[in-house]
Chains A and B, each alone.
Chain A
Amino acid sequence: QKEVEQNSGPLSVPEGAIASLNCTYSDRVSQSFFWYRQYSGKSPELIMSIYSNGDKEDGRFTAQLNKASQYVSLLIRDSQPSDSATYLCAAGRSGSARQLTFGSGTQLTVLP
C-alpha cells in the first residue's frame, strides 16, 4: 500500500477557477507535509509546507491539513495557465533522517 496517495488526474480547470488537489497518507507518525510543483521536464520545487492542523495561506495557495483524517490538500485560487504542472504531495516524520515520502503526483492543466 502506497503511503501517500494523491487524487487521480489529470485535473483540468479554467483560468481564474479554484484548483483543488488532495492527498491522503497512511503513516500516522507523519508530522510534516509538503507540496512540490514540477513543471514538465523540470525538477520539483517546494511551494508550500504545513505542520499543524488547519489552513496555511501563501498568496494564491492555501494548504490544509487534517491529521485526524490523515488528509492534506492544496487549493490554488485564481488559477493561471502558468500553474499548469504536476503537483507532488510529500509527508515526513519529525526528526527523520529518511526525509520524505512522495505521492505519485497530480497533473494540473489550467485552460486559458
Chain B
Amino acid sequence: DVKVTQSSRYLVKRTGEKVFLECVQDMDHENMFWYRQDPGLGLRLIYFSYDVKMKEKGDIPEGYSVSREKKERFSLILESASTNQTSMYLCASSGGWVDSNTGELFFGEGSRLTVL
C-alpha cells in the first residue's frame, strides 16, 4: 500500500513563527503536492513538484514555500505564520498524470495547523 506520512498531525504556532510541515511517501512517486483544506472552500493547491528540486506554484502560493531535496520528501514552509494560515494541510503524491491509471492522488492524514 502507498503510504504518505505527514510529520505532525496537530501544531499550534504563534504569529510570525517559521513553520515546517514535512511529508514523506514510500512509493517512488514523481509528483507531490501540498493542499490546504478549509470549510466551504474545498482543497486548494498551494504548490506541487514533479521532480526533485522542481516546484511549481498552485492556486494560493502566497506566504508559502516548498522544498524537495529528495524524491520521497516534500516540505511546506511558512516563513512567517499568520492567523489566516490556520487550516488543515494535506500532502499528496501520485505516480503519473491525471489521464493515466497511475494518476491517482494518495493523501497523507493531514496536519492541522493553528496560528495564534
For the complex, give the distance between the alpha carbons of A100 and B33 in Å: 10
Chain B residues contacting A100 (CB-CB under 8 Å) are: 98, 105
> Is B43 within 8 A of A88, CB to CB?
yes
> Is B42 within 8 A of A95, CB to CB?
no
Instruction: Say if the beta carbon of B74 comes within 8 Å of chain A.
Output: no
> Is B40 within 8 A of A99, CB to CB?
no
- Shortest CB-to-CB span from A40 to chain B, Å, is 12
Extra 18 A-B pairs, beta carbons < 8 Å, given A43-B107, A102-B42:
A31-B99, A32-B99, A34-B98, A43-B108, A44-B43, A44-B90, A44-B107, A92-B98, A92-B99, A93-B98, A97-B31, A99-B45, A99-B94, A99-B98, A99-B105, A102-B35, A102-B44, A103-B42
Chain A residues contacting B107 (CB-CB under 8 Å) are: 43-45
Chain A residues contacting B35 (CB-CB under 8 Å) are: 102
Instruction: Say if the beta carbon of A49 comes within 8 Å of chain B.
Output: yes
The 10 A-B residue pairs with the shortest CB-CB distance, nearest first, are A92-B98, A43-B107, A104-B42, A102-B43, A32-B98, A94-B99, A102-B42, A46-B104, A32-B99, A97-B50
For the complex, give the distance between the alpha carbons of A93 and B97 in Å: 9
Instruction: Say if the beta carbon of A71 comes within 8 Å of chain B.
Output: no
Query: Please, which residue of chain B has its CB at the minimum distance from the CB of A95?
Result: B97
- Which B residues form the contact surface with A (CB < 8 A)? 31, 33, 35, 40-45, 48, 50, 56, 58, 90, 94, 97-99, 103-105, 107-110
Interface-centre pick from B45, B98, B99, B104 (highest chain A CB count, 10 A)? B98
Instruction: Say if the beta carbon of A60 comes within 8 Å of chain B.
Output: no
Chain B residues contacting A96 (CB-CB under 8 Å) are: 97-98
Given contacts A97-B50, A98-B58, A99-B105, contact A105 B42 (CB under 8 A): yes
Interface-centre pick from B31, B43, B94, B108 (highest chain A CB count, 10 A)? B43
Can you give 19 A-B contacts (C-beta < 8 A)? A32-B98, A34-B98, A43-B110, A46-B104, A92-B103, A94-B97, A95-B97, A95-B99, A97-B31, A97-B56, A97-B97, A98-B48, A99-B45, A99-B94, A101-B45, A102-B42, A102-B43, A103-B42, A104-B40
